[in-house]
Structures are given as structure tokens and as C-alpha cells.
Structure 1
Amino acid sequence: MARKPSVRLLPRKGALPILLDRAPVPVAIIVGFGLILLGALIVTRPLTSIVLLGIYVGCSAIVSGLAELLGRRGERAWWPRLVASVWLVSGAIILLFLERSLQLLPPAMALLLVLGGLASIGDALSPTSVSQRVLTCAWGVSQIVFGILALAWPDVTVLVVAVVFGIRTVLYGGSLAARAIRAESAQGIASSEAKTASASATTAARLDRSTFWMAAGRYALTAVLLGVCAAGWALNSWLAEGAPVADAFYDPPATVPAEHGRLIRVDDFAGQSPPDADVVRILYTTRDAFGAPAVASALVIAPSEDQAGARPVVAWNHGTTGVARGCAPSLRDASATHWAIPALNDAVARGWVVVATDYSGQGAPGVFPYLIGAGEARSSLDAVLASRELEGLALRPETVAWGHSQGGHAALWMAQLAERYAPEIDFRGTAALAPVTAPLELAQELSARDADPLLSVLVSWVLVPYADTYPEIDLRNYVAPGSRTIVREMTQRCPSEPGVIVSVLTSLGVSEDRPLYVGDLTAGPLGERLAQNAVEGPFTTPVLVAWGDADEVIPPRLQQRFVDRLCAQGDRVRWVVYGGYDHLRPLLPGSRFLPLLVNWTESQLLGGDAPTDDCARYAPASP
């Protein structure tokens, strides 16, 4: 009686199938259950098992490549030998450079998925059952799709690859154990076939039923694989379409002016404009945190109505919008509305020009100076200087800085640097709404909270720009092995785009395994640089600070501690605390703070008797 081809749930032979083809049944059963446990570990603990996964994949690639080459001896076809050679080289690279290149491991495994998919599609041409060939082809397509998606989203590559390889290992382990148990059972049945004729009929019936259910299982698994591939591809398209992209306007020319604060180019703003105002975007020269040349972009919002003489300036510093190029406010439709800039309509009605920087590294290429005071302040001061070169717009030197959250940090640093960095500007005062004043103290507060995915994303926005700015800060000292790609990719998405969901879900997925961050984020070089970027003063111009007592981002006690320090050193500070206001509420339309902001600003720009110092009126609160 002719021997039937072996029945395989997963059609592509890898390293272990080759090694276990002739293994004793007990060994196959033990290895099968061991693979089930290994696959479960890889799926549920991707970071913990990433080295183990790398070794497993590297060895599997080498053995599969060797088997492919040896099995194709005498054949003239070049394609199988090329694929096998790539498997060999890829496996060797993974094993040789595993310790030093964990960051390259997920993309390497994604590439192996693509290669495995191509090889599986080739196997679909082999003379096997229809159901097996259908599943073989579907499995190959799914591996290619997952490999492409993994390369398109590097931070989730470790999860996608872990899930695919993990499930593949679980399925193969289960298949191996089931075949071994079935083989042992078949041997027992075969030994009793000689005793009765009915036993032979029973055995044939069992084999027929087994063949039927295996075929049905293959078709069901094929449908699942194709459905998952289609859903993944559609989700990828949706996420990619929602990502903002900096257009050619933001690319600096080969030659730019050597001086900071010089206009490079100007263009219309395609988004919404406030009533009776014109909005343009500008590209200009600036300096980074160390004084090196950089380029930045900004919006300039000016009243449409003609007015004799020059106009005073309000320099707006936006809060956190992410740290990637595409997160620049000038790329968003509603960035020049009173929902994005507090009291914007009132400022325009009073004839003020609002200059709103993106900061360097947003819009224009470069390193974004997130909570790096000198870099933020120079971007904003230079935006004011560059705006003076716009045709048809005359600006007075009197300037007041506004800022919210991160922007409050930038505005306060403007006050500290304006006199020596941009003496052409007559800097009159700073209004800071719920500002970050002490990055180290804030980091200590956040570190004390329970870790959550949103906090993981926020930490990446601070950690990566600091590591890119300060050479002594090494990500390897603060990020778990194998996680740097995940952390860096978190910084490439903006909170306003759908893709940020990927960052949150990735953080959630890996946090179930182990934390993304290791060590003390407030110690060492990072802690020292965070401390250096605190707002210290002294301030020679008035400061207005406002915050809500329900601020969920920056603890109100940090704000009170800040104004107490300024009062103690003799600065002129006004501060207002609003009951029930959260982090965003002070700047939104209808806020009780906005009339105070406008009146205080008008007094600083034009001269007036509005109070500028609460230190003399109130006893400072205890720190």
C-alpha cells in the first residue's frame, strides 16, 4: 500500500521540522509541548524574550538555509538557492551581532518574514492536497504582509514579529505533538489490524475523518489569515493618511543667511484665520541650544486693517504638540484661532501682531528643543526679529511673550535671554499659563506616579530630544534593551494624528511585559540637564503666572513654589489660581483669565497702571 504524504498544518519546513522528521515519538511530543510554552512566552513577553527570540530565529534561518541548499542539489533553478543564501546570511548576522544590535533585530526578523513568505508561496507549487496548497499560499502572503507592515511601523515590529513567530511556534508545537501522538496511536492500531478485518475498516474511517477535518481546518485558517492581512493593511492606510507631513516650504535652501533672526522665505497660511487678520508662515534662521545655526518656522498673524505707524508684538509660544517635524502648529488648520492661541481675536482687535513660532525641529528639520530653554527661547526671539523683514508690516520693538505649558517654559526663558541675545527687542514682560518651570521637579513628580502608556509617550518626548541635544545622555542608560526603536518611534507621531494610537498600544503591550524605561530618569546626566533647564531668573521685566488648582499635568504646588522663589529674589510677579481649572482651561475661550491677560499685556505694551507685583500685596505661601 502506497504511503500517503505527511499531513502538515504549517506547510513551510523550518529548522525544527527538518531536525525532527525522524525523531522518536516521545522526543517529538516533549519538543512539541516545549515549543508551545516557548511560543506563549514570546507572544506575552516580547521584550523579555527578544534575545531568546533572536537566537531562535537566527538558528532557524541558518538550518533552513542549509536544508534548502542541500535539498536542491542538482537543480538548476537559481531562485531557491538565492533565498536560501539570504536565510543563511541573515541568520548569521542575527547571531553574530545580537548583543550589539538588538535595535536591528525586529527589522531583521521582519525581513525574514518576507523571505519566509516568498519561500512559502514557492512551496504552494508542490504536488500536495489543494487545501494544503491554499493554506501554504495564504501563509506566505500573510508573512509578507506582516513583514511589510512591521517595517512600516518599526516600534510595533517587535510586537508584530513576536506575535507572528510566537503563534507560528505554538501552532507548530501543537501540530508536532498532535502528529506524534497520532503516530503512536496509529502504530497501536496497525499492530491490531491483523486480528480482525473490521479493525482495518475502522482505521480507514478514522483516517478519512482526520483528512476531512484537517482540510476544513486549513480552509478556516486561510480565511482568518487573509482577513487579518486585509484588516492590517486597511488600518495601516488609515493611520498613514492621518499623519501630517512638512511640505517643501519647510526645507531650507542650500545657502541661508549667517545671522540669526533673518527671514528665508514667506508663504500664505492655508488654515483658518481669525476675524480681520491676515496669516502667513515664515521660515527663518535661528540658533539651537548650543548656539549652532538652525532653521525654524512660525506663523505671523497681523490685523488686516491699515494702521499708521508700527504695531507692537505678542510672541506666542505653543504648548506640547509632539516633537516630530510634522507636529508643527503651522501645519495644522486651526493653529491661528482663539482655540489655539488665547485671546487671539482680542489681540488682533487691539492692533497687535502675534508671532507664533513652531520652534526649530518642528516644520523645519533639526532637533526639537523640548523643554530645553535656550533652544526654545532663541527660536521665539528670532521669529520676532525675522517678522520685521516682512514687506508691508511695520513692527515696534515693544514685545510681550505669552506661553502655555512647554510654551510657558519657552516664554520665561525668552525673558532671561532677550537682553543679551536680541537687544533689538524691547522686551516688556512674560505671561505664562500653567508653565513648566522646573523640568527636573516635574520629572520627579511624574516618576512617582503609576506608569501608564500616555506617560511612557510623554517621557519619550523629553528623553529623546535631550539625548539628541546633549552628547553625554545615552538612551541605553535609560531605555530597556530592545526598546530604543519603540521609544524613538513614539517621538515621530503627534497627539493630533491617528498614529499616536500605535504608540499608546505599543506602550501598553510592552508594559505588560516590563517597563520601557530603566534606571532613574531623574539622575545622572539626564537629571543634571533637566535641572539646568529650570527657570531661575532673575527677571528684569514683569511676570504673570496663571494656573488651575485642578491641573492634572503639572502639580499646582510646583507653580506656587515657583512664584515663591521669584518673590524671594525680588522679582515682580503676578499670579492667579483658578478653582476647578485643569491644565488647558486657562487658555480656552471663555476662561476668566483672558480679560486679565489682555489688560495686563496692554499695560506692558502701551504703559499703564495695572498691578505687576503680588509679592508686595500677599505674603508668600510656604514652599
Structure 2
Amino acid sequence: MSRTSWSLLLALLAVLAPGAGTASAASTPRHGPAGAAFYTPPSKLPAGRHGALIWTRAYEGLGTPGTHPYLVGLSEGRSTLDIVRAAHALDPRISARKVIISGHSQGGHAALFAAALAPDWTPELGVRGTVAFAPVSHVDDQIPLTTGLTSPGGGLSGLISIIARGIAAVTPALDTNALLSDEALALYPQTLTQCLPELSTPASFGGQAPASIFRAGADLAPVAAALDAQDSSHLKIRTPLLIEQGAADTTVFPQFTAQLDTELKANGAKPVYRTYAGVDHGGVVTAAAKDATSWIAKRLR
């Protein structure tokens, strides 16, 4: 795995369908090669639609060719739904009619996009509900604020670097190189090969102040516009939705999640929004687990 993503949890919950066939009832997919070779697709792909199995192996993570489109909703949402389609093909006992989509942080962002895309992208899936823990939103409002942060940013600077790389990958007109400072530009190739912990070290972007990542006076409006296009606040979600947020979260700020809740309601969604006092970004998954499990159980009846 050459890259990982920040707080990524794409937990796709499907129930075993009573009386469904076993895995042997489906065509047996090819077993993938060991090591990093697993992430290099074969020269001849199998016939089928998106979500069809290429080969299988028990590891998870990123690493296939190409730039990781970090926080790009269309890519995240489609990939999330294709995982369900592929899992059902691998083992037909995994129901395609009782599906819960759940994710944390970037995974929460992906879960929201998957919920919105499901009716058109995977219409055969029965999405019963979506749980988003501290979903990333309103990054477009936050990137310009980094110009005022003049101390080494550690993980924040690492995040900015992969946000810039991800949004540039799907916005060809956005010349990220022209916006980065000389110091950041020298480090920028690392975003193609390094994981966030490495990018967050003093030897990498972590040693850079957020204010020094972009050139002084750089016009960040195009970056903000590109990020806004990937924001979950624009989505129309028609299936049940639960959003859970830690009130002490300093990574995904509660005020932005509250704003997201209001915007999704204005788009026709009917989310249940819960906050947890004293709970930080990572802790919300544990703190909210009981409530989420109860909510999910009701959706799967």
C-alpha cells in the first residue's frame, strides 16, 4: 500500500440474506498476486460493469495506479458503492437489498456521496440508511484560513498537501504547482508516494507552516471553488441518514457539521443529527457506537 488516507473508515455493512447461495455458487474470481503487485491491474480486465471483481485478496488500502483523489466525492462515492457490488459478487450471501453505508471523517464524506449517488450508480442496491461520523465538509471555507497559521503545521500541513494533490487530480485547469511556494513545491512529489504520517513529519510538509505552503499573495479562490464542487453540502439524499459529531473535535469542526446538517435538510434530506459533549475526532466512533448500532438495527428490520 503506497498511500493511506486520513481517518478513513469506509465500513459497508450488509446483512447475510437467509437462504442465499454460498460463495461457490458464484463464479470464482481470480486470486490476486502477493505484495504490491496486487495493486497493478492485469493487462486484460474481466468483462463486466463497474464493481465487477478483477481479483481478490485479504489486504485493504490504496495503491492502484494513478493519483489518489482525496476528498473527491464522485470518486469516493462510486468506489464505496462498487465495493458493495463486488462483495455481493464474491459471496451472494451478502445481501444487496439490505445495505448500510457508514464512514468516519473522509469516510463520512464518502458515505454521504455514496448515499446520494446510489439511486443512479447502483440502482439494484437497497440502501437502508447511512451513518456519517464527523464527515469532512466545507474545506473550501477553511483552506484560505490557513494563510494565517505561521507555526509548523504537523498533521494539518500534511493534510493540506494531499488535499491540494487530490483536488488537482480532478481539476485539470487548476495549476497547483503555480500556487505552491518553492519549499512546498520541492516536497510536493512526496504526496504521490508517502502516507499521511510521513507527510506530517518535520522532514516533510509537517515542518512547514500552513501559511508557507502557498506562495505569498497566491489567489486561492480557484482552489476554494474546486473544493466547493466536492462538498457534501450540495447533495440530495433521500434515504435515512444519521450524522454523529464530537463536540470537542478540532479536526472536523462541529460548527461546520451543524451547517452541513442544515444544508442537507434544505436539499430535502431528513438527517438525524447528534453531538457528543467532550468527544474529539477519533473518539466519536466509539462514543456514538451504541446509538449508531441501534439506529442501524431499526433500518435493517
Aligned counterpart, 1:260: 50
Residue of structure 1 in register with 2:261 after alignment: 563
- Specify whether residues 422 and 393 from structure 1 end up closer, same or farther in structure 2 by C-alpha distance, changes over 3 A only: same
TM-superposed deviation, 1:452: 2.6
Letter in 1 for 2:55: R
Quick one: which of 161, 168, 185 aligns to 1:460? 161
Q: Which whole-Å deviations, capped at 9, do the CAs of 1:125-149 have from their partners, x for residues lacking one? A: xxxxxxxxxxxxxxxxxxxxxxxxx
Quote the residue 2:245 is aligned against.
547
Taking the TM superposition and a 5 Å limit, the aligned residue runs for 1:59-74 are: none
For the pair 1:529 / 2:229, whether they are aligned, the reply is no
Number of equivalences: 265
Report if aligned partners of 1:472, 1:525 keep a CA contact under 8 Å in 2. Answer: no
Is 1:494 aligned to 2:195, yes or no? Answer: yes
Q: Pick one of 428, 442, 448 that aligns with 2:128.
A: 428
Residues 466-485 of structure 1 aligned to structure 2 (within 5 Å): 466-481=167-182, 483-485=184-186
Deviation of the 1:569 alpha carbon:
4.0
**Which consecutive unaligned segments of at least 5 residues does structure 1 have?**
1-244, 270-280, 282-329, 331-357, 607-623
Q: 2: CA distance between counterparts of 1:251 and 1:546?
A: 36
Equivalent residue for 1:601?
296
In 2, Cα distance between equivalents of 1:521 and 1:413 = 30
- If the length of structure 2 is used for normalisation, what is the TM-score? 0.79
Instruction: Structure 2: give runs of 5+ residues left out of the alignment.
Output: 1-33
Tell me the amino acid that sits aligned with residue 534 of structure 1: D
What residue number does 2:24 align with?
Answer: none
User: 1:517 corresponds to which residue?
Assistant: 214
TM-fit CA distance, 1:500: 4.5
Indicate if the aligned counterparts of 1:444 and 1:522 stay in contact, CA closer than 8 A: no
The equivalences for 1:123-522 within 5 A come to: 247-256=36-45, 257=47, 259-267=49-57, 269=58, 281=59, 330=60, 358=61, 362-391=62-91, 393-454=93-154, 455-481=156-182, 483-496=184-197, 499-500=198-199, 503-507=201-205, 515-518=212-215
Q: What is the rounded CA distance, in whole Å, between the counterparts of 1:255 and 1:367 in structure 2?
A: 21
Does the Cα contact within 8 Å between 2:165 and 2:191 map onto a contact in 1? no
Give the residue type in structure 1 aligned to 2:122: A
CA distance in 2, matches of 1:438, 1:446: 14
Q: Report the TM-score when normalising by structure 1.
A: 0.40
Q: Distance in 1 between matches of 2:38 and 2:261?
A: 41
**Map of 1:538 onto structure 2:** 236
- Tell me the distance in 2 between the aligned counterparts of 1:442 and 1:461: 15
Q: Aligned partner of 1:546: which letter?
A: E
CA drift of 1:534 comes to 1.1
Q: What is the rounded CA distance, in whole Å, between the counterparts of 2:192 and 2:100 in structure 1?
A: 31
Cα displacement (A) at 1:540: 0.7
Structure 2 letter corresponding to 1:422: T
- Return the letter of the residue paired with 1:489: Q
Q: Secondary structure at the match of 1:369?
A: coil
What SS does the aligned partner of 1:466 have?
helix
1:450 Cα deviation (Å)?
4.4
Give the SS at the match of 1:264: coil
Please tell me whether the aligned partners of residues 400 and 428 of structure 1 are also in contact (alpha carbons under 8 angstroms). Answer: yes
Q: In the alignment, residue 187 of structure 2 is paired with which amino acid?
A: I
**Aligned alpha-carbon RMSD (Å):** 2.6
For residues 84 and 218 of structure 2, the distance between their equivalents in structure 1, rounded to whole angstroms, comes to 35
One-letter identity of the residue aligned with 1:515: S
Which residue type is aligned with residue 54 of structure 2? Answer: I
Asked if structure 1 preserves the Cα contact closer than 8 Å seen for 2:183 and 2:213, the reply is: no
Distance 1:521 1:405 in 2: 28
Q: Which has the higher contact order (CA 8 A, sep 6+)?
A: 2
Contact 1:473 1:526 in 2 (8 A): yes
Between the aligned partners of 1:378 and 1:479, the Cα distance in structure 2 is 30
Residues 144 and 220 of structure 2 are in contact (CA less than 8 Å); yes or no, is this contact kept in structure 1?
no
Are 1:453 and 1:505, in contact at CA under 8 Å, matched by a contact in 2? no
| Identity in percent | 28
Q: CA deviation at 1:507?
A: 3.9
Deviation, 1:525, is 2.8
Q: How far apart in 2 are the matches of 1:405 and 1:545?
A: 11
> How far apart, CA to CA, are the structure 1 residues paired with 2:163 and 2:300?
34
Native 8 Å contact 1:428 1:605 kept in 2 = yes
CA distance in 2, matches of 1:570, 1:483: 41
Structure 1 residue 510, shift from structure 2 partner: 5.9
Letter in 1 for 2:76: E
The whole-number CA distance in structure 2 between the counterparts of 1:522 and 1:376 is 27
* 2-structure distance, mates of 1:519, 1:448: 11
Partner in structure 1 of residue 11 of structure 2: none
Structure 1 position 482, deviation (Å): 5.6
CA contact (8 A) 1:371 1:439 kept: no
- DSSP 3-state at the match of 2:194: coil
Deviation, 1:495, is: 3.8
Asked if 2 retains the 8 angstrom alpha-carbon contact of 1:442 and 1:554, the reply is no
Q: In 2 relative to 1, CA 482–451 (structure 1 residues): closer, same or farther, beyond 3 Å?
A: closer
Query: Take 2:216 and 2:119, find their aligned partners in 1: how far apart are those partners?
Result: 39
Cα distance in structure 2, aligned partners of 1:547 and 1:468? 29
Counterparts in 2 of 1:424 and 1:451: CA distance versus 1, 3 Å: farther
CA distance in 2, matches of 1:542, 1:521: 42
Are 1:440 and 1:522, in contact at CA under 8 Å, matched by a contact in 2?
no
